[in-house]
A and B are shown apart, each in its own frame.
Chain A
Amino acid sequence: MKIASKEVSAVSLVKEAFEKAKKYEDKHIFVSLNEENAIARAKEIDERIARGENVGRLAGVPYALKDNFLSKEGNTTASSLMLEPFHSPIDSTTVKKLEAEGAIMIGRTNMDSFAHGSSTENSYFGPTKNSIDDERVSGGSSGGSAVAVALDIVEFATGTDTGGSIRQPASFNGVYGLKPTYGTISRYGVVAMASSTDCVGFFTKTPDDMDLLMSICAGQDKTDMTTLPDYYNETPETEVKRIGIIKDFDNDAVDKNIRDALAKKVEFLENKGYEIVELEMPTLKYALAVYYIIVPAEISSNLSRHDGIRYGYRSKNAKDLGEIFSKSRNEGFMSENKRRIMVGNFVLSSGFYDAYYLKAQKARTKIIEEYNKAFEKVDFILMPVSPSPAFKLGEKVNDPVSMYLEDVMSVPTNLAGVPSLAVPAGKTKSGLPLGLQVVGPRRSDKNILKFAKVLEEDE
């Protein structure tokens, strides 16, 4: 990691991070800063270095934590009123692992409330602005984390990706964003959105930094039964020869800038001797519909625990038990949260379950099969992350369907559980970052990062 050479103290690195965070206050990147704790930690690390102790692979590295990770430092709100405030008595597994290696949390980054959204405009605290254009969105739901890394406030930031929430903001801000294979990193202590697609991942400035974070955080966690045994650090090296591109996504619905960026990378790869294979993946176009059945179903279920009884927001207008539930939830959740809860309750309700949820699960199996077939033909797939670069604030926020369409190319990988890395791919004429994603078969995360270094040569 491009960090602290030993001449720089952890304290000075951390202080520098806070100076930058304050400089960009108007971008609204952080929901809360962790100054006191961070400086204390940095001092401790400097002292340990002075004593010659082993301080870990991330010693003194400032990082930003998406506001849906539980940490004993400060409050976890998932950028919602529902959890305002919520002080966690425990650390999420990821926080534990990062801090065991000496990383220092600078602050919690803004996000769409409960990660519902693709622009960070659904945050209870207001939107995060794009790293290079204040009139544009940062992407979402992990908008704050992407911008914090893009503006070099921190070396890396955590994110969660349920349908593109890491990759889309990464591509909107020109940084690397990895959604690992489902089950690679523990979800313990991460406010759940949709259990079967939620993935913990990171934003970094280089593929190597990402590799380091993955090697630290990947692995089986007894507190998350869906985690895989650590394959990441034992990934066999494979030779990458064939790169797939998907014909179905090469149409006018995708911004010309992005299609040109893809064409440019393809040409670069061809020149380097890679074989480019055109793939037909006809079921991917159903992925968005499948996603917006399965994910709201799981959201409606996972958000049931926010009932105003034990923690978080409780309505002051509630007169009886029923009203504690209904008013607390009505006031505490934002419209997008409520929209998804409604959809989820609908598709799970008796009489509709078979027609919607069960059918969507069957379609999901088809999508998985289609990826399996594709990866018999190619090593990786190179494709756009989203249909357009960062759009304007307010442009889509009142049009849920057009906002959902933002996810059309990112959700299939979440449904299939395969890894995908957003890589920077140049800029528009006006300087807006462009991004592409490299999608690989399950457990190919490490090799994707290696391949990203090849693509980096073209930047």
Chain B
Amino acid sequence: MKYYPTIGIECHVQLSTKTKLFSEVDNDARGKEPNSCVSPIDYALPGMLPRLNGEAIKYAIRAGRAMNCEINAHSRFDRKHYFYPDSPKGYQITQFYHPIIGEGYVELPSGNKVRIEHAHLEGDAGKLTHFDSYSLVDLNRVDTPLIEIVSMPDIHSAKDAHDYVKALWRLMCYAEVTNGDLYNGNMRFDVNVSIAPEGSGTLGTRAEVKNLNSFKSVERAVEFEIKRQSKILDKGEKVIQETRGWNDATGETTSQRSKEEAKDYRYMPEPDIPPINLSKEFIDEESAKLPLMPKDYKEKFGGIIADDILEVLLDYPALMKKLAEVKDAKRVSNWFASVLLAEEKSAEYLNDLPTAKQLDDLSEMTEKGELSSTGAKEVFLRLFDPEMSKRDARTIAKELNVIQENDLGELERIVDEVLADPATKQAQEDFKAGQEKVIGFLVGQVMKASQGKANPAVAQQILRKKLA
């Protein structure tokens, strides 16, 4: 039988605020000792009270606006209770009843729209590492601000599921609310998949695949679930509603709980944080700070930058931002796509891009023919070299000795010199006799005499004129 899949996705986004959601501790624990980014509040000493980070509210507004969402003027925090060593307070502070971000939508490349049901702010949990006879608890991540984005079940294919999470990732990166480092779990996806006979208009029983952290794993997990559930239904059996884990190595999902325990989180309004009331002015002001989104860049550069290059570069918000600053976006986009991204260390380079002025100078020199395309690429790469990156493009070009000689007078002098050299006598005669290809030899001699700085095209022109 043919089945029609229905997919809803929950996405957790770690916000890159300076401090944590409820304390003034550094929110960036990358490379830090376990339990070193922890205050008495995060550690949940008795008598500690949460202190809401206003920056997170601003981030939430931007994230919401990036997804075309309503921002709720009134929102509130709630406590979600469970006992686990990764949750020092014994509850997570989240927004169960009144989330800050209301309905919206995300557009996919296919043209389909995925509606956002809501998105809310909450604190992340700590990290546990299990060993044979003991486990270690690291609370550095406790109460890192998260936004949980809940989609409507508007996705009906593995491809759209992939495109949705990728679109979300781009939106959150462009909104500058997250570092977007998927490898380190900055965004995590829970995917709900169900299937029903095509045309039946009903919804099947869903299985939830938790904690996916790449676009590809989302796509593969959905594909696997559709196949798995189809087989079950084909046999006339029933799909069990359950939570499943993803094994990236085998490409399979597996049941995570042998017996389904009914969880009761005993939600309760958080009495230590007053309700959040945002004025329209404040929401408008923060919404206006939303940086350019992917669609804005597409609009801006469509027809200027080749579509395939644009699509590649859109995965790098920093590059797009830079392109918006430079004069010759088309030329620079080519360098970005074919030179920078081809470099092994390109990921490192992205953190410290050349200034627009440096890139503009380089573009101009290339445009004027002062640099060959090879010379330009060489200078371009040096702009990322920590030793040279602070210098302007011309200085680097001079240092690399790649500026082409365009000065006609100087070039003529060099050509005359070459023509006066007895070693070229034979070649000159051959050319005059109609042997077209010896011009290459003569140009080569000019290049040699100019120590490679002559513009070969111009040199050839002069040679032809003189030998005519």
Contacts and interface: CB of A to CB of B under 8 A. Distances in A.
Interface of A: 68-70, 76, 78, 83, 86, 88-90, 92, 187-192, 194-196, 222-226, 297-298, 300-301, 303-307, 309-311, 321, 325, 345, 348-350, 353, 357
Nearest to A345: B266
Interface in B274-290: 274
Given A70-B45, A86-B46, A225-B50, A325 B83 contact: yes
A377 B80 CA distance: 42
Contacts of B272: 195, 224-226
B85 A309 contact: yes
B137 interface: yes
Contacts of A300: 266
Contacts of B88: 305, 309-310
B47 A305 contact: no
Contacts of A78: 46
19 contacts: A78-B46, A83-B46, A86-B46, A89-B45, A188-B48, A192-B47, A222-B51, A225-B51, A298-B268, A298-B271, A301-B81, A301-B266, A304-B89, A304-B90, A304-B91, A305-B89, A307-B90, A310-B44, A321-B135
B52 interface: yes
Given A304-B81, A325-B83, A297 B47 contact: no
B83 A307 contact: yes
Nearest to A86: B46
Contacts of B264: 349-350
Contacts of B266: 300-301, 345, 348-350, 353
B291 interface: no
Nearest to B265: A350
Nearest to B263: A350
B267 interface: yes
Contacts of B274: 225-226
A239 B45 CA distance: 44
Given A90-B40, A309-B137, A310-B88, A301 B49 contact: no
B244 interface: no
A357 B272 CA distance: 17
B115 interface: no
Contacts of B335: none
B453 interface: no
Contacts of A357: 268
A355 B290 CA distance: 43
Contact of B47 (A190, A301, A321, A325): A190
Contacts of A188: 47-49
Rank and list the top 8 A-B pairs by shortest CB-CB distance, nearest first.
A304-B90, A195-B271, A348-B266, A196-B271, A191-B46, A305-B44, A189-B47, A350-B264
B43 A348 contact: no
B49 A187 contact: yes
B268 A348 contact: yes
A224 B52 CA distance: 10
B188 interface: no
Given A304-B90, A305-B88, A70 B83 contact: no
B79 interface: yes
Nearest to B46: A191
A225 B268 contact: no
A300 B48 CA distance: 16
Contacts of A88: 45-46
Interface-centre pick from B43, B48, B49, B268 (highest chain A CB count, 10 A): B49
Contacts of B83: 304, 307, 325
B137 to A, nearest CB: 7
A196 B269 CA distance: 10
A303 to B, nearest CB: 8
Nearest to B137: A309
Interface string B252-275: 000000000000111110011110
B46 A192 contact: yes
Contacts of A222: 51
Contacts of A306: 46, 90
A301 B85 contact: no
A216 B49 CA distance: 21
Given A192-B47, A301-B268, A349-B266, A321 B52 contact: no
Interface string B135-156: 1010000000000000000000
Given A304-B91, A305-B89, A307-B83, A70 B273 contact: no
B260 to A, nearest CB: 15
B444 to A, nearest CB: 75
A90 B267 contact: no
Contacts of B267: 348, 353
B399 to A, nearest CB: 54
A314 to B, nearest CB: 12
A70 B91 CA distance: 22
A187 B49 CA distance: 8
B85 A321 contact: yes
A42 to B, nearest CB: 27
Interface in B73-96: 79, 81, 83, 85, 88-91
B46 A90 contact: no
Contacts of B265: 350
A92 B88 CA distance: 20
Nearest to B86: A309
A83 B81 CA distance: 21
Contacts of A310: 43-44, 88
A83 B47 CA distance: 12
Nearest to A298: B271
A332 to B, nearest CB: 13
Given A298-B271, A301-B79, 19 more contacts: A78-B46, A88-B45, A188-B47, A195-B49, A195-B272, A224-B49, A225-B49, A226-B49, A298-B268, A300-B266, A301-B268, A306-B46, A306-B90, A310-B44, A345-B266, A348-B81, A349-B264, A350-B264, A353-B266
Given A196-B271, A309-B85, A191 B44 contact: no
Contacts of B40: 89-90
Nearest to A114: B46
Contact of A223 (B44, B46, B51, B90): B51
Contact of B268 (A68, A297, A325): A297
A47 B45 CA distance: 35
B273 A225 contact: yes
A220 to B, nearest CB: 12
A350 B263 CA distance: 9
Interface string B209-248: 0000000000000000000000000000000000000000
A118 B467 CA distance: 114
A216 to B, nearest CB: 20
Contacts of B48: 188-189
Interface-centre pick from A222, A223, A357 (highest chain B CB count, 10 A): A223
A214 B266 CA distance: 37
B52 A70 contact: no
Nearest to B23: A223
A225 B137 CA distance: 29
Contacts of B85: 307, 309, 321
A325 B273 CA distance: 27
A310 B90 CA distance: 12
